[in-house]
Structure 1
Amino acid sequence: MGRSGRVAIPAVDRRGIANLETHFVSPEVYRREDVAERQARLAELVAERIIPQLVKLHSEVLPEALPIEQVVEALAPSRSDISGLAHVVLGSDLEAAAAYVLVLRDRGLAMETLFLELLEPAARHLGQMWDNDECDFIDVTLGVARLQKLLATFNGSHVLPDLDTRRQVLLAVTPGDQHYFGATMVERFLHASGWTVETAFDRSAAEIAHAARAEWFAVAGLTVGSERSLPALQDTIRQIRRESRNQMIGIMVGGPLFTANPGLAQEIGADGTAANAPTAVLMAQKLFDEMVLQMTN
């Protein structure tokens, strides 16, 4: 914040913002006549339903933690922070949303912290609301797309046009596993959020790795349904990393095992996990951004 008290806005011009709008949302979403109404309604849902749950989560997961008011004073995003972001990010002014997040970042919060404490929880709860029929697919797509745009804006991946066509995901089910439903939902949300998705269902580990070698992918996503499939999943991850055309490929995993124990993802060699399809979209963007940062450093 400068001497005038105004918040600095990241270098995203209005033409760039317009490009981002089509970059992170599949065009058919905007063919709906009620998009603006849906955006406003979803912002209200996030503010009124999601934010109280996030504040409650703070005290339930950390029963001995300081009161939420003291945590806010210690720089953690507050209920009003997240509520305000919900209304801004689901509107049409990406500049305003970027400025809002800058306020939080300038308090000293790293983007990794903002991802874990602000953006990812919001995406996760959007997914839960969709599961509970409290909002529909279009609503969640619009919300997650704007969360993606904030990540790309602050991590700088939106300013690299040569990478625009490389937001590609290889999506597979662990060999021997028959749990396709979750992977199908992830595919649907990724596509609606502007990703190009190739599926490799009913493939062996060698065939999945061959697909990663035959075409360049930024991210590989793998789902698993049971603990007995973990060795096959770990072997598939090793083969993808060894043979992938993109040697900096990000690998995310999903399934009930990782929902119960998120730390298991890194134990078996993945880079991250997501609790549901909307958070998988956000995780894919996070891994893409990290890859871009490595490529440009």
Structure 2
Amino acid sequence: MYQRPDAADRQGSLARIVSGEIIPRLLRLHTEVVVNAPPIDDVIKSLRPNGAEIDELAHIVLGDDLDAAADYVTVMRDRGLSMEALYVELLEPTARFLGTMWENDECDFIDVTFGVARLQTLLSIFNETYALPEFETRRQVIMATTPGNHHVFGASMIEKLLVAGGWQVTTEYSGDADEIARTVRDNWFAVIGLTAGSDLQVEGLKSVIVDVRRDSKNRNIGIMVGGPIFTADPALAAEVGADATAPNAPAAVLAAQKLFDIAARK
């Protein structure tokens, strides 16, 4: 029987239309037609992954069955959740949960490494960047400390997970703003990760971000920030001009992949 060569792409497009447009419209129509229907926000909230489902995905990615993990995410997507919602409500919380398991000695670094790598793969598969010809060569990231920050432990943990996940990592831990700007001007990076240790370093961080935006060889470079001040107040990331933040190393790796995927689609 004849099958179109682009059948998979067409099915993928149809699935995105159904989950992103048709199902939300049907849900809204439901609230307009059905007497005493629950508010639409309550309906959508009920579709979101819960703690038990996040726990379950974490244990799946700690195993070696990527297909099972992909099937699990597919089930969640078929509920009508967008890819953005899946990232915020399922994949990123799962990465955070892996970090918590690691901190509680429920799994070791090798376990977390493989788990985070599988989450990265899932994210890129569902964002359709995994098959890009330049996928491996373009996943280049620079990890840097901002002026006044001499604590590199957190950044080094992220660095190790990134390397294990297939990223090419450059480090700049001198805290020299001019050196950071020179490095991103002379070399192409998909993402830069910047750390700040206290409120006293925020102004210096803002200045570095301005320089990176202005000088980067990659005009679409993704900027993620981390450190205790962002864990305490994630909204501060947007205030300093960054694109993302994460509360721990596994979540930071997933944030880097998301930034890569966003830029790859532009």
Q: How many residues were matched structurally? A: 230
Counterpart among 213, 229, 244 of residue 216 in structure 2: 244
In 2, the alpha carbon distance for the partners of 1:10 and 1:91 equals 29
In 2, the alpha carbon distance for the partners of 1:86 and 1:229 equals 34
In 2, the alpha carbon distance for the partners of 1:287 and 1:164 equals 15
Counterpart among 30, 34, 49 of residue 77 in structure 1: 49
The corresponding residue for 1:109 is 81
- In 2, are the aligned partners of 1:10 and 1:153 still within 8 Å (CA)? no
Deviates more, 1:198-207 or 1:285-294: 198-207
In 1, the alpha carbon distance for the partners of 2:72 and 2:180 equals 41
User: Structure 1 9/151 Cα, relative in aligned 2: closer, same or farther at 3 Å?
Assistant: farther
Deviations 1:173-199 (A, max 9, x none): 011211111111111111112111100
In 2, the alpha carbon distance for the partners of 1:137 and 1:274 equals 18
Q: 1:84-95 to 2 correspondence within 5 Å?
A: 84-95=56-67
Q: CA RMSD in A?
A: 2.3
Q: What is the CA distance between 1:165 and its match in structure 2?
A: 0.6
The corresponding residue for 1:177 is 149
Q: What is the CA distance between 1:97 and its match in structure 2?
A: 2.4
Deviations 1:178-222 (A, max 9, x none): 111111111111111211110011142121011001111000000
Question: Larger Rg: 1 or 2?
Answer: 2
Opposite residue 289 of structure 1, the aligned amino acid is D
Unpaired runs of at least 5, structure 2: 1-6, 11-37
Deviations 1:107-140 (A, max 9, x none): 1111111111111111112112222322211010
The corresponding residue for 2:163 is 191
In 2, the alpha carbon distance for the partners of 1:188 and 1:95 equals 25
Opposite residue 266 of structure 1, the aligned amino acid is A
The corresponding residue for 2:120 is 148
Opposite residue 250 of structure 1, the aligned amino acid is G
Matched, 1:98 2:70: yes
The corresponding residue for 2:132 is 160
Q: What is the CA distance between 1:82 and its match in structure 2?
A: 3.1
The corresponding residue for 1:271 is 243
The corresponding residue for 2:15 is none
Matched, 1:127 2:104: no
In 1, the alpha carbon distance for the partners of 2:137 and 2:264 equals 13
Normalised to the residue count of structure 2, the TM-score between the two structures is 0.80
Deviations 1:236-260 (A, max 9, x none): 0010010000000000000010001
Unpaired runs of at least 5, structure 1: 1-7, 12-65
Q: What is the CA distance between 1:80 and its match in structure 2?
A: 5.0
Q: SS at the partner of 1:171?
A: strand
The corresponding residue for 2:110 is 138
Normalised to the residue count of structure 1, the TM-score between the two structures is 0.72
Q: What is the CA distance between 1:72 and its match in structure 2?
A: 8.3
In 2, the alpha carbon distance for the partners of 1:76 and 1:9 equals 26
